[in-house]
Amino acid sequence: MSKVQVSFEWLSGCSGCEMSIVDLHERLLDVLDAIEIVRLPILMDTKEYPKAQLGIVSGALRSEHDVHAAHEMRKSCDKILAFGVCAVYGGPQGAAYAHKPKELEEAVYQKNLTTRTNFIPNDGVPAMLPEGVRPLDSEIDVDLYLPGCPPHAYYVAQALKAILEGTVPEFGSHNVCFRCRRTMQPSEVVALRRSHDGPVAGDTCFLSQGILCMGSVTLDRCLAPCPQHGTACTGCAGPSENIIQEPHIDIRTEIANRMSRMTRIKREVIIQEMERRSKTYYAYAMASPVFRQKPTFLLRRWIEQGGA
């Protein structure tokens, strides 16, 4: 069997996605046997864009360079896989959506606690996109998606296997709750609480305990490590399929519905809290059109009004 040629490109991200491929551990050598890597910037000295059957792109579009690289990948690869939450949903730097590019630069270079210079680098550095951050499919056609921050090696292996067999990898039909062993149960909790407000019960759903957990609206691309290790899901893999497919369903309304039925906390209170703290609860997918296309999603206004 001839090897599948794979080309990698890495846009604005953190290298965690690349690491998740190395985290195939023992299976990595089998994968390397089945594919021919023609381009991998972090490990190989090839700098052009050779032809490949599969292009794996991680990271979001942040600069003009990223846009150029995305098109080069599209031209040189038969199929493009958007790999990781940044490529699929914009990722944490999607928070740039909440600010003007100028504000971001000012915070780092001009209004910074320990920086004494007072200018923004402008000599030969690539310009940032005026709209902040965009996911990959806002610029080029994407054939396959593998969200996750990063996707767990279990899902990386599953996706690569599907692609090598010529089928489409699963996008993620389950949410994080699917693998969580905590029990949802009615409670008399009357107010929202944060994770540091007293001990957290180890076997009860966070929502039952009044703690906002994103598990029910987040794709399982991780095998649900957070709730299994005593911490609430922060939504890093991006919104689940029902959120994407239904224009009237948003993560705040979905969580508020669930939580208000299980506790004595009012639905409106939960929605209001998530809007006030939208930078926290939409941290990984703020730049995604999935949200912007929802008529009631007013993130910029919430941030302005709530201070966050």
Partner 1 sequence: MGRTIVVNPVTRIEGHAKIDVEIDDADQVVAARLHVLEFRGFEKFVEGMQVELMPTLTTRICGTCPHAHHLVAAKCVDAVFGAAPPLAALLQRQLLNAGSIIHSHAIHFFALAGPDLLLGIGAAPADRNIVSLLRAEPDLAKRALRLRSLGQKIAEVVGGRGTHPITAIAGGMAAPIDQDKLGQLRTMATEALDLARIALDAGKSVLSSRSELIELLPLSSYDLGTVNNDVWDLYDGNLRLCAPDGKTAAEVTSTQYRDVMVEEANAFSYSKRVLFKLGGTEVDYRVGPLARLNACGKLPTPAAQAELEEFRTRFGHPTHQVVLNHYARLIELLACAELAVKLCNDPELTSTSIQTQPTHGPKSAIAHVEAPRGVLIHDYEVDDQGLIHKANFLVATQHNISSIDKTLRLAAERFWKKPEAEFVNGVEFAIRCYDPCLSCSTHQVGQMPMIVNVTRNGQVIRQVKR
How is residue 230 annotated by DSSP? T
Q: Which stretch binds partner 1 (CB under 8 A): 65-73, 174-182, 213-221, 244-252?
A: 65-73
Q: How far is the CB of 246 from partner 1 (least distance, A)?
A: 27
How is residue 90 annotated by DSSP? -
C-beta closer to partner 1: residue 164 or 200: 200
By CB under 8 A, tell whether 14 contacts partner 1.
yes
C-beta closer to partner 1: residue 43 or 191: 43
Residue 50 to residues 3, 33, 47, 56, Cα–Cα distance (Å):
15, 19, 9, 13
Q: How far is the CB of 149 from partner 1 (least distance, A)?
A: 6
Q: Which stretch binds partner 1 (CB under 8 A): 42-50, 137-145, 245-253, 289-297?
A: 42-50
C-beta closer to partner 1: residue 166 or 198: 198
By CB under 8 A, tell whether 272 contacts partner 1.
no
Which two structure tokens, joined as six digits, stand for 41?
């910037």
By CB under 8 A, tell whether 19 contacts partner 1.
yes
Of residues 226 through 255, those in contact with partner 1 by CB under 8 A are 226, 228-231, 234, 236
Helices 267-276 and 251-262: angle between axes, nearest 10 degrees: 140
By CB under 8 A, tell whether 137 contacts partner 1.
no
Of residues 77 through 136, those in contact with partner 1 by CB under 8 A are 91-93, 95-96, 98-99, 103-109, 112-117, 119-126, 128
Of residues 285 through 304, those in contact with partner 1 by CB under 8 A are 303
Residue with tokens 């369903």: 249
- List the one residue out of 176, 131, 155, 154 whose CA is nearest residue 81: 155
By CB under 8 A, tell whether 182 contacts partner 1.
no
By CB under 8 A, tell whether 267 contacts partner 1.
no
Q: Which stretch binds partner 1 (CB under 8 A): 35-43, 138-146, 181-189, 263-271?
A: 35-43
Q: How far is the CB of 131 from partner 1 (least distance, A)?
A: 14
Q: Enumerate the H helices of 23-110 as residue ranges.
A: 28-34, 64-76, 85-89, 101-109
Residues 6 or more apart in contact with residue 62 via CB below 8 angstroms = 11, 12, 93, 96, 128, 129, 133
Q: Is the peptide bond before 126 cis (omega within 30 degrees of 0)?
A: no
Give CA–CA dist 170/119, Å, rounded. 46
